[in-house]
Chain A
Amino acid sequence: MNEIIIDGEPLPFVEGQTVAAALVAAGRIAWRTTRVGRRPRGVFCGIGVCFDCLVTVDGSDGQRACLVPARPGMAVTTGEGDDA
């Protein structure tokens, strides 16, 4: 079973999907809060331009979820991702 680990919880994905696609497929459309207004954000442009979908992947922060292919066991943490 293909799963990534989102904030400690397993999330299934289809081989070939990005982290953002896996999250949206699971019905999660928001996964971080903004620095100034503490507003929820998820994927917006989907192609790496807008930086709304930032997550931390295997310890590297500031990763655009829409550009990172999901891999089994990949550890993704959500939250701020904006000024971490």
Chain B
Amino acid sequence: MPEPSDLIVVGAGPAGMAAAVTALAGGLRVALVDSGTAVGGQFWRHPPEHARAAIPTEDLHHGLREYRALCDALSAGRAAGRLDLRLAHHVWSVVREDGGFAVHAVDRCRAPRETAVVLRAPRLLVATGAYDRQLPFPGWELPGVLTAGGLQALLKGGGVAAGSRVALGGTGPFLLPVAVALAARGAEVVAVCEAAHPRAWLRHPGPLLRNPGKWAEAAEYAAALARHRIRLRPRTAIVEAEGDDRVTAVRIASLTPDGTPRAGTEQRVEVDAVGVGWGFAPQLDLLVPLGCALTDSADGNAVVAVDDGQRTSVPGLYAAGETCGVGGAGLAVSEGRLAAGSVLADSGAAPGRGRRRRSAVRARADGQRAFARAMNTVHRLPAAWPAWLPDETLVCRCEEVDAGAVRAARADAGAHDHRQVKQLTRAGMGWCQGRMCGPAVHCLVARGGAYAPAERLVATPVTLGALADRDA
């Protein structure tokens, strides 16, 4: 049995890695838990360590210097016996206990075999990130249509391009690295449809001036897109995917400023794969049942409310990264450091690298957060989207509920949030428990307000066998 930890960090992406490294530097014993087979999360997704030579993906990454530095510090923590790294561990529940938290997970190192694991510590830091937010459109359920993140995960984790002629659509800067990565693996990216207009960024000069690094990154993408002859189409959207048993073409339309497709602008483009993403939905499954206060973010998501030290409203519970509002890897790293700094301060440990360094991280995080707010404002969901969705369009992929049924639940039964729609139509009741359709159903029926996910007591499927042998 490993020695008890002072802190459990759930999520080994940029926020969780940075938090674990800072806590280790401050002398704490840390357990770092992630469902993946390597640290890095989605942003720094890599094949497992032993397969790095077989699947080269280094060229698809950004910020690898920071990633390597964090990896080295984690390795040193393991070697010193102070880091308990749990990869391929799926956390399905976290409960408060006297004096701390119990994290219930299943070890899936030998998947599909599962072994139950319970980790306990007085303090818990949740850095579970986010996943692609989807707005349904006709044909989005056809094989070959993936989330933009799904395309990227196949590329970064498996070295696989899901198609040879790919169209991307949605909104947000994330479409750009996906386009470049696909092109780097030989796919032809025939369209990148961005619903917003980049000109909207000019209304936010402050955050742009405070984040010169983002300018450099944008210039890098612009150069790479030009090199691969990829055309970014502003204020356009993929409004339909065509095909029988798989996607064969998309229809692309120009959008008015409120997001309505302009009549007569539609173009048909033949493709064999599509990637779509409308920003991200924070992964709050572990935080909501713990009773964390939430707050609204500019992108329409409810996010975890934290103080300026990343403390949630629950004593001993900290959050960092996209769960506190979608803002990218740089901000996640800063927030991870701040959160761990608070853990050190609150547990009476030596404050690590001192107050001056901490205020520098705070200042950087503030600048990055301001940029994230601007990004979330520029790349909002199109206001007109619910209106242009035909009734026959599938909204809930799992239970196969269409937009007409969701609208009827609102019109006939007065449903005005996704929980009520779930009871009336089964949308959100299937395998994914509304993770995919939740934000869309919210857009279709809610009278304003941010999307807050339903409370899910079990965050990931767990077998009865694994529950029966748990050592708690």
Interface size on B, residues (CB 8 A): 48
Task: Kindly state whether residue A4 has any CB partner on chain B within 8 Å.
Answer: no
List 21 interface pairs A-B (beta carbons < 8 Å), by A numbering: A16-B47, A16-B50, A17-B159, A21-B157, A21-B159, A21-B160, A22-B158, A24-B162, A34-B400, A41-B141, A43-B146, A44-B150, A44-B397, A47-B131, A49-B131, A51-B398, A51-B432, A57-B112, A62-B461, A67-B111, A82-B431
Closest to B108 in A: A67
Contact of B431 among A24, A54, A60 (CB under 8 A): A54
User: Secondary structure of the B side of the interface?
Assistant: loop
Please report the C-alpha to C-alpha distance between residue A45 and residue B162 in the assembled complex, in whole angstroms.
Answer: 12
In the A-B complex, the 10 residue pairs with the closest CB atoms: A16-B51, A46-B150, A21-B158, A51-B431, A30-B143, A60-B112, A16-B47, A46-B153, A36-B400, A17-B158
Task: Kindly state whether residue A6 has any CB partner on chain B within 8 Å.
Answer: no
Whole-angstrom distance from the CB of A4 to the nearest CB of chain B? 13
| Chain B residue contacts of A50, Cβ below 8 A | 147, 397, 432, 435-436
| Chain B residue contacts of A14, Cβ below 8 A | 51, 54-55, 158-159
Extra A-B contacts (16), CB below 8 Å, given A46-B147, A49-B432, A66-B150: A17-B159, A21-B160, A25-B158, A30-B143, A36-B399, A37-B400, A39-B141, A44-B147, A46-B149, A46-B153, A47-B42, A50-B435, A51-B430, A58-B112, A62-B461, A67-B111
Q: Which of B419-435 contact A (CB under 8 A)?
A: 430-432, 435
Which B residues are within 8 Å of any A CB, using their own CB? 35, 37, 42, 47-48, 50-52, 54-55, 108, 111-113, 131-132, 141, 143-147, 149-154, 157-160, 162, 245-246, 273, 397-400, 430-432, 435-436, 460-461, 463
Interface size on A, residues (CB 8 A): 41
| Chain A residue contacts of B246, Cβ below 8 A | 29-30, 40
| Chain B residue contacts of A22, Cβ below 8 A | 158
A45 touches B149 (CB 8 A): yes
| Chain A residue contacts of B147, Cβ below 8 A | 44-46, 50
